[in-house]
Structure 1
Amino acid sequence: MGEKMIIYRTAQTSDFLDIAALDREAWGKNRNTEFVPDGEHIWRVWVEYAIVECAFENDKVIGVGLSIPTTDPKLYFHHKLFLRDGYRGQNIGSKLTENRFKRTDELGAATIFTTDTNNTVMHKIAAKHGYVEVDFVKGYYRPNEDRLIFRREAATIQADKKTLNL
Protein backbone atom coordinates (compact mmCIF):
# COMPACT_ATOMS: atom_id res chain seq x y z
CA MET A 1 0.00 0.00 0.00
CA GLY A 2 1.32 3.44 -0.90
CA GLU A 3 2.20 6.23 1.47
CA LYS A 4 -0.66 8.52 2.48
CA MET A 5 -0.66 11.93 0.85
CA ILE A 6 -1.45 14.36 3.65
CA ILE A 7 -1.83 18.03 2.76
CA TYR A 8 -1.50 20.68 5.47
CA ARG A 9 -2.96 24.15 5.11
CA THR A 10 -4.73 26.90 6.95
CA ALA A 11 -8.48 26.35 7.06
CA GLN A 12 -10.69 28.28 4.67
CA THR A 13 -14.25 29.37 5.35
CA SER A 14 -15.46 26.64 2.99
CA ASP A 15 -14.00 24.04 5.41
CA PHE A 16 -15.95 24.95 8.54
CA LEU A 17 -18.82 22.44 8.15
CA ASP A 18 -16.40 19.54 7.64
CA ILE A 19 -14.37 20.72 10.63
CA ALA A 20 -17.49 20.92 12.83
CA ALA A 21 -18.50 17.39 11.77
CA LEU A 22 -15.06 15.99 12.63
CA ASP A 23 -15.17 17.85 15.96
CA ARG A 24 -18.43 16.08 16.86
CA GLU A 25 -16.96 12.73 15.81
CA ALA A 26 -13.68 13.20 17.70
CA TRP A 27 -15.40 14.57 20.81
CA GLY A 28 -17.35 11.31 21.15
CA LYS A 29 -14.09 9.51 21.95
CA ASN A 30 -13.34 11.60 25.07
CA ARG A 31 -14.47 11.43 28.67
CA ASN A 32 -17.61 13.41 29.58
CA THR A 33 -19.09 13.02 26.10
CA GLU A 34 -22.53 14.08 27.28
CA PHE A 35 -21.46 17.72 26.95
CA VAL A 36 -21.92 19.29 23.52
CA PRO A 37 -18.83 20.16 21.46
CA ASP A 38 -18.44 23.47 19.69
CA GLY A 39 -21.08 24.10 17.03
CA GLU A 40 -21.01 25.11 13.41
CA HIS A 41 -21.44 28.82 14.10
CA ILE A 42 -18.37 29.13 16.28
CA TRP A 43 -16.30 27.10 13.81
CA ARG A 44 -17.31 29.53 11.08
CA VAL A 45 -16.12 32.41 13.29
CA TRP A 46 -12.89 30.66 14.30
CA VAL A 47 -11.92 29.80 10.72
CA GLU A 48 -12.21 33.47 9.84
CA TYR A 49 -10.74 35.10 12.96
CA ALA A 50 -8.49 32.57 14.73
CA ILE A 51 -5.65 30.24 13.75
CA VAL A 52 -7.11 27.03 12.32
CA GLU A 53 -4.66 24.62 10.71
CA CYS A 54 -5.93 21.49 8.97
CA ALA A 55 -4.67 18.21 7.53
CA PHE A 56 -6.45 16.79 4.49
CA GLU A 57 -6.33 13.49 2.67
CA ASN A 58 -8.19 13.30 -0.65
CA ASP A 59 -9.84 16.66 0.13
CA LYS A 60 -11.27 15.26 3.40
CA VAL A 61 -10.44 16.92 6.72
CA ILE A 62 -8.55 14.39 8.85
CA GLY A 63 -7.11 16.69 11.52
CA VAL A 64 -7.59 20.15 12.97
CA GLY A 65 -5.62 22.40 15.31
CA LEU A 66 -7.22 25.58 16.66
CA SER A 67 -5.56 28.50 18.48
CA ILE A 68 -7.67 31.45 19.55
CA PRO A 69 -6.53 34.95 20.50
CA THR A 70 -6.98 36.10 24.08
CA THR A 71 -7.42 39.57 25.57
CA ASP A 72 -3.61 39.66 25.78
CA PRO A 73 -2.28 40.21 22.22
CA LYS A 74 0.87 38.24 23.15
CA LEU A 75 -1.06 35.14 24.25
CA TYR A 76 -3.03 32.57 22.27
CA PHE A 77 -5.03 29.67 23.66
CA HIS A 78 -4.41 26.34 21.89
CA HIS A 79 -8.01 25.23 22.22
CA LYS A 80 -8.29 22.09 20.14
CA LEU A 81 -6.30 19.41 18.40
CA PHE A 82 -8.15 16.40 17.04
CA LEU A 83 -7.80 13.74 14.36
CA ARG A 84 -10.12 11.41 12.51
CA ASP A 85 -10.01 7.77 13.66
CA GLY A 86 -7.16 5.86 12.06
CA TYR A 87 -4.81 8.86 11.83
CA ARG A 88 -3.36 8.96 15.35
CA GLY A 89 0.27 8.03 15.88
CA GLN A 90 1.38 9.33 12.48
CA ASN A 91 2.73 12.73 13.65
CA ILE A 92 -0.18 14.55 12.00
CA GLY A 93 -1.11 16.21 15.30
CA SER A 94 2.51 17.25 15.81
CA LYS A 95 2.65 18.80 12.34
CA LEU A 96 -0.60 20.71 12.97
CA THR A 97 0.85 21.93 16.27
CA GLU A 98 4.09 23.01 14.59
CA ASN A 99 2.11 24.92 11.96
CA ARG A 100 0.23 26.78 14.68
CA PHE A 101 3.50 27.54 16.47
CA LYS A 102 4.88 29.10 13.30
CA ARG A 103 1.91 31.46 13.26
CA THR A 104 2.01 32.35 16.98
CA ASP A 105 5.81 32.67 16.95
CA GLU A 106 5.55 35.15 14.07
CA LEU A 107 3.23 37.17 16.31
CA GLY A 108 5.64 36.86 19.26
CA ALA A 109 2.82 35.25 21.23
CA ALA A 110 3.05 32.64 23.96
CA THR A 111 0.51 29.83 23.96
CA ILE A 112 -1.39 28.08 26.73
CA PHE A 113 -3.77 25.14 26.82
CA THR A 114 -5.60 22.98 29.31
CA THR A 115 -5.85 19.22 29.22
CA ASP A 116 -7.37 16.40 31.19
CA THR A 117 -5.13 15.22 34.00
CA ASN A 118 -5.44 11.67 32.59
CA ASN A 119 -4.42 12.62 29.03
CA THR A 120 -0.84 11.38 29.30
CA VAL A 121 -0.42 11.34 25.51
CA MET A 122 -1.08 15.09 25.41
CA HIS A 123 1.26 15.65 28.38
CA LYS A 124 4.09 14.00 26.39
CA ILE A 125 3.25 16.01 23.26
CA ALA A 126 3.29 19.19 25.37
CA ALA A 127 6.76 18.45 26.73
CA LYS A 128 8.03 17.59 23.23
CA HIS A 129 6.91 21.02 22.00
CA GLY A 130 8.39 23.08 24.82
CA TYR A 131 5.35 23.42 27.06
CA VAL A 132 5.71 23.57 30.82
CA GLU A 133 2.95 22.68 33.25
CA VAL A 134 2.10 25.91 35.08
CA ASP A 135 -1.03 25.07 37.04
CA PHE A 136 -3.41 22.37 38.26
CA VAL A 137 -7.02 23.44 38.62
CA LYS A 138 -9.29 21.16 40.63
CA GLY A 139 -12.86 21.19 39.33
CA TYR A 140 -12.00 23.33 36.28
CA TYR A 141 -15.40 22.67 34.67
CA ARG A 142 -17.25 20.60 37.26
CA PRO A 143 -16.21 18.98 40.56
CA ASN A 144 -14.99 15.80 38.81
CA GLU A 145 -13.18 17.53 35.92
CA ASP A 146 -9.68 18.63 36.89
CA ARG A 147 -7.35 20.22 34.34
CA LEU A 148 -3.66 20.90 33.92
CA ILE A 149 -2.60 24.20 32.35
CA PHE A 150 0.50 24.26 30.14
CA ARG A 151 2.35 27.27 28.69
CA ARG A 152 4.88 27.68 25.87
CA GLU A 153 6.74 30.93 25.26
CA ALA A 154 7.13 32.21 21.71
CA ALA A 155 10.22 30.83 19.95
CA THR A 156 11.88 34.26 19.90
CA ILE A 157 11.45 34.52 23.68
CA GLN A 158 12.78 30.98 24.15
CA ALA A 159 15.83 31.83 22.03
CA ASP A 160 16.41 35.04 24.02
CA LYS A 161 16.31 33.12 27.31
CA LYS A 162 18.90 30.64 26.01
CA THR A 163 21.13 33.52 24.89
CA LEU A 164 20.84 35.13 28.31
CA ASN A 165 21.33 31.78 30.09
CA LEU A 166 17.99 32.13 31.89
Structure 2
Amino acid sequence: MTNTLNFRVKPRAEDSFAITLAPLSLEEIYAKADDPANGAVVVMSGMVRNQTDGKPVVSLEYQAYEPMALLVFSQIAAEIRSLWTDVKRVVIHHRIGRLQVGEISVLVAVGCPHRSEAFEACRYAIDTLKHNAPIWKKEHWQDGSSSWVSIGACEQPGQDC
Protein backbone atom coordinates (compact mmCIF):
# COMPACT_ATOMS: atom_id res chain seq x y z
CA MET A 1 0.00 0.00 0.00
CA THR A 2 1.42 3.37 -0.95
CA ASN A 3 1.04 6.56 1.04
CA THR A 4 1.99 8.89 -1.79
CA LEU A 5 -0.58 10.22 -4.20
CA ASN A 6 -0.08 10.71 -7.91
CA PHE A 7 -2.19 13.78 -8.55
CA ARG A 8 -2.01 13.22 -12.30
CA VAL A 9 -4.05 10.02 -12.18
CA LYS A 10 -6.98 10.45 -14.52
CA PRO A 11 -10.08 8.45 -13.61
CA ARG A 12 -11.15 5.82 -16.10
CA ALA A 13 -14.54 6.39 -17.69
CA GLU A 14 -15.75 2.97 -16.54
CA ASP A 15 -15.04 3.76 -12.88
CA SER A 16 -17.26 5.80 -10.57
CA PHE A 17 -16.29 7.90 -7.55
CA ALA A 18 -18.55 10.12 -5.47
CA ILE A 19 -18.95 12.00 -2.22
CA THR A 20 -22.65 12.63 -1.70
CA LEU A 21 -25.31 13.74 0.77
CA ALA A 22 -27.82 11.40 -0.90
CA PRO A 23 -28.48 7.90 0.42
CA LEU A 24 -26.35 5.24 -1.26
CA SER A 25 -27.93 2.48 -3.34
CA LEU A 26 -26.53 -1.06 -3.47
CA GLU A 27 -28.30 -1.65 -6.79
CA GLU A 28 -26.81 1.49 -8.35
CA ILE A 29 -23.28 0.68 -7.18
CA TYR A 30 -23.56 -2.92 -8.36
CA ALA A 31 -24.77 -1.76 -11.79
CA LYS A 32 -21.83 0.66 -12.07
CA ALA A 33 -19.37 -2.17 -11.28
CA ASP A 34 -20.99 -4.66 -13.65
CA ASP A 35 -19.31 -5.47 -16.97
CA PRO A 36 -19.85 -8.33 -19.45
CA ALA A 37 -16.25 -9.51 -18.84
CA ASN A 38 -16.81 -9.87 -15.08
CA GLY A 39 -16.99 -13.23 -13.42
CA ALA A 40 -17.51 -11.49 -10.07
CA VAL A 41 -18.64 -8.21 -8.59
CA VAL A 42 -17.72 -7.81 -4.94
CA VAL A 43 -19.50 -5.08 -2.99
CA MET A 44 -18.51 -3.87 0.48
CA SER A 45 -21.19 -1.92 2.33
CA GLY A 46 -20.13 0.07 5.39
CA MET A 47 -22.94 1.14 7.67
CA VAL A 48 -23.59 3.00 10.90
CA ARG A 49 -23.71 0.56 13.80
CA ASN A 50 -25.41 1.12 17.13
CA GLN A 51 -22.28 1.13 19.32
CA THR A 52 -18.56 1.88 19.42
CA ASP A 53 -16.53 -0.04 21.99
CA GLY A 54 -19.76 -0.80 23.86
CA LYS A 55 -20.86 2.86 23.96
CA PRO A 56 -24.35 3.34 22.41
CA VAL A 57 -24.27 5.40 19.18
CA VAL A 58 -27.36 7.20 17.87
CA SER A 59 -25.86 8.64 14.68
CA LEU A 60 -22.68 9.53 12.83
CA GLU A 61 -21.89 12.73 10.98
CA TYR A 62 -19.40 12.56 8.08
CA GLN A 63 -17.41 15.38 6.51
CA ALA A 64 -14.89 15.16 3.69
CA TYR A 65 -12.49 17.35 1.80
CA GLU A 66 -14.21 16.34 -1.43
CA PRO A 67 -11.65 17.30 -4.11
CA MET A 68 -8.86 15.46 -2.31
CA ALA A 69 -11.07 12.49 -1.40
CA LEU A 70 -12.01 12.01 -5.06
CA LEU A 71 -8.32 12.13 -6.01
CA VAL A 72 -7.60 9.49 -3.38
CA PHE A 73 -10.42 7.31 -4.75
CA SER A 74 -8.94 7.63 -8.26
CA GLN A 75 -5.47 6.79 -6.94
CA ILE A 76 -6.86 3.71 -5.18
CA ALA A 77 -8.35 2.52 -8.49
CA ALA A 78 -5.00 3.06 -10.25
CA GLU A 79 -3.19 1.11 -7.53
CA ILE A 80 -5.74 -1.69 -7.76
CA ARG A 81 -5.14 -1.99 -11.49
CA SER A 82 -1.38 -2.13 -10.96
CA LEU A 83 -1.87 -5.04 -8.52
CA TRP A 84 -4.79 -6.84 -10.23
CA THR A 85 -4.52 -6.09 -13.94
CA ASP A 86 -7.80 -7.84 -14.91
CA VAL A 87 -10.01 -5.49 -12.85
CA LYS A 88 -12.71 -4.05 -15.10
CA ARG A 89 -14.43 -1.50 -12.84
CA VAL A 90 -13.88 0.20 -9.50
CA VAL A 91 -16.69 2.07 -7.74
CA ILE A 92 -16.20 4.06 -4.52
CA HIS A 93 -19.03 6.20 -3.14
CA HIS A 94 -18.99 7.75 0.34
CA ARG A 95 -21.81 9.57 2.02
CA ILE A 96 -21.44 12.76 4.07
CA GLY A 97 -23.84 14.46 6.45
CA ARG A 98 -25.65 12.98 9.44
CA LEU A 99 -26.53 9.29 9.17
CA GLN A 100 -28.68 7.20 11.48
CA VAL A 101 -27.93 3.70 12.74
CA GLY A 102 -28.37 1.21 9.89
CA GLU A 103 -27.74 3.70 7.08
CA ILE A 104 -25.00 2.97 4.52
CA SER A 105 -22.00 5.32 4.79
CA VAL A 106 -19.72 3.84 2.12
CA LEU A 107 -20.03 1.47 -0.81
CA VAL A 108 -17.06 -0.02 -2.62
CA ALA A 109 -17.48 -2.37 -5.58
CA VAL A 110 -14.95 -4.08 -7.81
CA GLY A 111 -15.81 -5.96 -10.97
CA CYS A 112 -13.31 -8.52 -12.23
CA PRO A 113 -13.20 -11.74 -14.28
CA HIS A 114 -12.17 -13.76 -11.21
CA ARG A 115 -13.66 -13.76 -7.70
CA SER A 116 -10.40 -14.01 -5.74
CA GLU A 117 -9.01 -10.85 -7.35
CA ALA A 118 -12.36 -9.08 -6.91
CA PHE A 119 -12.38 -9.87 -3.18
CA GLU A 120 -8.75 -8.85 -2.70
CA ALA A 121 -9.13 -5.63 -4.68
CA CYS A 122 -12.31 -4.65 -2.84
CA ARG A 123 -10.66 -5.18 0.54
CA TYR A 124 -7.63 -3.21 -0.61
CA ALA A 125 -9.91 -0.36 -1.71
CA ILE A 126 -11.76 0.02 1.59
CA ASP A 127 -8.63 -0.44 3.71
CA THR A 128 -6.72 2.14 1.67
CA LEU A 129 -9.66 4.56 1.66
CA LYS A 130 -9.89 4.39 5.45
CA HIS A 131 -6.17 5.05 5.73
CA ASN A 132 -5.73 7.79 3.08
CA ALA A 133 -9.00 9.60 2.37
CA PRO A 134 -9.61 12.99 4.05
CA ILE A 135 -12.89 11.94 5.63
CA TRP A 136 -13.90 12.54 9.24
CA LYS A 137 -16.79 11.29 11.31
CA LYS A 138 -18.43 12.62 14.42
CA GLU A 139 -19.92 10.00 16.66
CA HIS A 140 -23.10 11.08 18.46
CA TRP A 141 -23.67 8.94 21.55
CA GLN A 142 -26.84 8.14 23.42
CA ASP A 143 -25.69 10.16 26.45
CA GLY A 144 -25.71 13.36 24.31
CA SER A 145 -21.93 13.63 23.93
CA SER A 146 -20.08 13.52 20.61
CA SER A 147 -16.56 13.34 19.25
CA TRP A 148 -14.84 13.84 15.86
CA VAL A 149 -12.40 11.22 14.58
CA SER A 150 -10.54 10.83 11.29
CA ILE A 151 -11.47 7.53 9.69
CA GLY A 152 -7.70 7.07 9.27
CA ALA A 153 -7.58 6.73 13.06
CA CYS A 154 -9.60 3.57 12.55
CA GLU A 155 -6.43 1.84 11.43
CA GLN A 156 -5.36 1.36 15.04
CA PRO A 157 -5.10 -2.33 16.01
CA GLY A 158 -8.48 -3.62 17.11
CA GLN A 159 -10.41 -0.74 15.53
CA ASP A 160 -13.08 -1.43 12.92
CA CYS A 161 -14.65 1.94 12.26
The TM-score, its normalising length taken from structure 1, stands at 0.35
* Superposition TM-score, scaled by structure 2 size: 0.36
The structure with more strand, counted as a fraction of residues: 2
